[in-house]
Structure 1
Amino acid sequence: MSDQSNIIPLTRLRALLHGSSRYSARTVESIRTRVRLCQQNPSLHSGEDLGRRPPKSHAGGGRNVTLFLELLGVAALILLNAFFVAGEYALVTARRTKIQELAEEGNRRARAVQKIVADPPRFIAAMQLGVTLTSLGIGALGEQALARALDPVLATVLAVVIAFLIITYLHVVIGELVPKAVALRYSERIALGVSAAVRGFFVLAYPLIWILQSSSELILRVLGLESPGEEREALSEAELRMLLGRATEYGEIEREEQEMLYKVFDFADKEVADVMVPRPEVVALSIDLPPEECLAAVIESPYTRYPVYRQTLDDIVGIIHVRDLFSALNDQGFANVRIEELLRDAYIVPETKDLAALLADFRRTNFHMAVVVDEYGTMAGIVTLEDLLEEIVGEIEDEFDLPDESVEHVDDKTIRIDGTYPIDDFNEKFQVELPIEDYHTVAGFVFGLLGRAAAAGDEVEYNGLRFKVIEVEGSRIEKLEVQFVEPPPREQDEPHEERAAAEG
């Protein structure tokens, strides 16, 4: 029937050619071309006359359904890509402490998250496999489907270009950027939500995951690098400081707690010389003093332990505790008490000893005071357990402590301080940056700037601060007046965050 239907158009074409003398040369050539086409492909113009279109078929409807299913598949692949991206970011950035807390409370999904992240190479290989497969599927299926959808209204090349741009845009925005942003914002919640599906993917794609994981570990070993998870996870001090600053900013910890933790970090970096009571301020007792004079000296001072020396402070023979003195005087009377019999051993330490080691020594030996000596064996000062604790918790005052009168506010821009004011305390209180490497007191710093013995009325300037010597005793600066270019702040704001950023 097909062959019979082809006879009609071919016969008519040949008849036209027989009467070609009536047509132009171009028309004749066109008829001959149509004849050749019909002979090569009999299905063309089957059962039709020239100039008539073939009847419409139902193929258009099937084509639309296929196109719809392909586009639906592209959308599913983009969402699946978003799942793998969000899962990877959430599992990597989820706080381990929060997950551990939930796991200890009995949360099964939290325990699943712990098992997933316990093997970083497998976890990374699995998530990258999922992202790669979905990305390839999006590219292969999406561009072809969109190009066919646009081809009827656009030129073929233009349709392909526009399809590529649309697929790339959807892939990057919906499949990458949005899930990453959401995962970073709700990392713990998303990590818990995807844990079961991720573990299921581990099982389904185990062979491919194993191949990728083994290959990456082999290459890392060849390069002499460790696999993820083999290195010890630790944060630097600067990172911890920034985390504490962020926690304080969001109200997770109090400002006082933040300051105490910062001081713990600083504590490990300090030496005995940074916190000791310097020699000129040490209250010591001579071993030759009669008991009644010792008692008078003790009553005038608010301390419980006193170094005892023979002739000079460079010859410390022991430490006397007021409790031992009072007990002996009560039991034996003034006439029978001998100071040397009440002495306890003196603990001698170098001024370069770090505070953490000294604190450990105090805890081990039950000493509460140490005599500090310099590299020449000269007595440089004393340090007590209270001095160490104050470096962490701040000033500890009891009912016998005198009020702090070392800082006197003259006006909004001027203060007066004792020359022995510790330079690191001055920096912290007034938020300035005087060098602390070579000096322990503000008087020592001013003496260094002068380069000679100080006299009352001497003035020096440093970084917008004007120091004026008010009172001198011998070669020692007793009182200083400090003038600020701007009014000195009364409270410390956030010097530690700035220090952490500088260290980072």
Structure 2
Amino acid sequence: MDDSASSGSIVLQIVAIIGLLALSAMFSASETALTSMSRLRLLKKDEKESIHKVNRLLTASLVMNNFVNLMFSSLITILFINLFMNLNENLVALIGTVFTTILVLIFGEITPKIYAREYSEKVYQRAEKMLKVCEKLLGPLIKLLLAISNKIVKFFGGEAMEDAPFITSEDIITAVNLGEEKGTIDHQEGLIVERTFQMSETTIREIMTPRVDVVAIEENASLFDLMELVDEEGYSRIPVYREDIDNIIGVCYAKDIVGYIQQHGTDELSKKKVKEIIREPLFVPETMNVSTLLKIFKEKKIHIAIVVDEFGGTAGIVTLEDILEELIGEIMDEYDHDEVSGIKKISENTYLINATTPINDIERELDVDFEETEHETLSGYLLEIFRRIPSVGEEVDVDLFHFKIVAATKNRIERVLMTIKRRDEIEQR
């Protein structure tokens, strides 16, 4: 009778051990599923609840997994003591510990986690109901554990779970990059997404047309002069200044000239002054970020702004097209020629570049890296190297590049011939 009872007890222990091991596998798998599954999918599944419900489910999974593993370890020890009563207790404990560790690692941790990593959504769907039951049963304990964890995280300078964003721009960019690698997202689409998030860090100064390149007209010029300027330069919006370009008083739109001609004909164009049809300009600081400017353009329904420096002088102009080009690259219209981003390929490794071209654009278009510089354009970079305004024909070697000035005036560099040298050429020097 005692033997049968003892045998029955051992069978029950084995059944309980197998059950606990299965639970350990389930909680381990659900833990991995919660951390591996797309956060957006988790949010969509729990959209009626707090986005931080996931954190509580994860905590419930961790608590239950540790509890189950502890029970599993205890039952294994009891089973081994019953089976090997004649052996030394320390030896039995050692055997039990090794056996427990192997079983938990293989069947309770490694295998279920590998599976859950590959099939995270499937695992989450199967474990979701049980996790929510555990989360409700362990509610007070989970709140206490999360509160303690948040205090520790804050103590070390981190961000509490309830304050942290559920999904960050870095998460989205990482997902997009993975999509590009897998071929599910086009490279150009990926660039647009990445540049969209960079807009909040990009200042107007980095994308504006600088003061020296601004096409503007004096307020007392005639509409005929304005019409000729629009036709010659190809711009549909022209800033209007009083006395000098630091005192811009408005903006003229080409469509307003068309409207005037439709009403009054062309005879009065030479008599009518530009200042009579100007619109109020929008002034923005050069330090404003591009994302904010885009919102202003949208709210005010305008496409151009005058950029001012810290002293109130005109630093340049910025248009909606400049912002769009920052997102999708150069936009070619009927007034643009074959140059892309101010870069024209001459031969295999030689390019003719407008000196006002941003260094970031050159790096992106030609897949090269410049040494760190505080200047944003090729002109500023070369002025830093020459420490003066170079003359036409002057040349200089910098790292992998050979620069030759092909067009310049007394106060600015205009065009540069840039040759990308091979590594072996540098090593021979």
Shorter-chain TM-score range: 0.7 to 0.9
Q: How does 1:138-153 map to 2 (within 5 A)?
A: 138-146=72-80, 148-149=82-83
Structure 1 residue 74 and structure 2 residue 8: aligned?
A: no
Report how far residue 336 of structure 1 moved. Answer: 4.1
Q: How does 1:28-427 map to 2 (within 5 A)?
A: 66-101=9-44, 118=53, 120-121=55-56, 123=57, 126-146=60-80, 148-149=82-83, 158-201=91-134, 206=137, 209-210=138-139, 212-213=141-142, 215-216=144-145, 219=148, 229-330=161-262, 331-332=264-265, 333=267, 334-404=269-339, 406-427=342-363
Report how far residue 160 of structure 1 moved. Answer: 4.4
* Bigger radius of gyration among the two: 1
| Kept in 2: contact 1:468–1:480 (CA 8 A) | yes
Unmatched 5+ stretches in structure 1: 1-57, 105-110, 488-504
Of 366, 379, 392, 1:443 maps to: 379
Report how far residue 89 of structure 1 moved. Answer: 3.3
Deviations 1:420-475 (A, max 9, x none): 22222112212334368632321121011111121123233333222221222223
One-letter amino acid of the structure 1 residue matched with residue 68 of structure 2: T
Deviations 1:283-331 (A, max 9, x none): 2223444444433332222111112334432333432222222333452
One-letter amino acid of the structure 2 residue matched with residue 388 of structure 1: I
One-letter amino acid of the structure 2 residue matched with residue 324 of structure 1: D
Evaluate the alpha carbon distance shift between residue 266 and residue 462 of structure 1 in structure 2; reply closer, same or farther with a 3 A threshold: farther
Which residue is 1:462 aligned to? 398
Which residue is 2:426 aligned to? none
Evaluate the alpha carbon distance shift between residue 436 and residue 89 of structure 1 in structure 2; reply closer, same or farther with a 3 A threshold: same
TM-score (norm 2): 0.83
Equivalent-residue separation in structure 1 for 2:70 and 2:270 (angstroms): 100
Give aligned-pair identity as a percent: 25
Equivalent-residue separation in structure 2 for 1:372 and 1:76 (angstroms): 70
One-letter amino acid of the structure 2 residue matched with residue 376 of structure 1: F
One-letter amino acid of the structure 1 residue matched with residue 71 of structure 2: G
Cα RMSD for the two superposed structures: 3.5
Give the SS at the match of 1:432. Answer: coil
| Kept in 2: contact 1:282–1:382 (CA 8 A) | yes
| Kept in 2: contact 1:309–1:315 (CA 8 A) | yes
Give the SS at the match of 1:387. Answer: helix
Report how far residue 364 of structure 1 moved. Answer: 2.9
TM-score (norm 1): 0.72
Equivalent-residue separation in structure 2 for 1:373 and 1:422 (angstroms): 19
Report how far residue 476 of structure 1 moved. Answer: 1.4
Equivalent-residue separation in structure 2 for 1:291 and 1:98 (angstroms): 59
Equivalent-residue separation in structure 2 for 1:328 and 1:215 (angstroms): 73
Equivalent-residue separation in structure 2 for 1:454 and 1:463 (angstroms): 19
Report how far residue 166 of structure 1 moved. Answer: 1.5
Give the SS at the match of 1:396. Answer: coil
Evaluate the alpha carbon distance shift between residue 124 and residue 421 of structure 1 in structure 2; reply closer, same or farther with a 3 A threshold: closer
Give the SS at the match of 1:380. Answer: strand
Equivalent-residue separation in structure 2 for 1:384 and 1:211 (angstroms): 56
Equivalent-residue separation in structure 2 for 1:74 and 1:178 (angstroms): 18
Report how far residue 408 of structure 1 moved. Answer: 2.7
Evaluate the alpha carbon distance shift between residue 440 and residue 351 of structure 1 in structure 2; reply closer, same or farther with a 3 A threshold: same
Unmatched 5+ stretches in structure 2: 424-429
Equivalent-residue separation in structure 1 for 2:215 and 2:51 (angstroms): 63
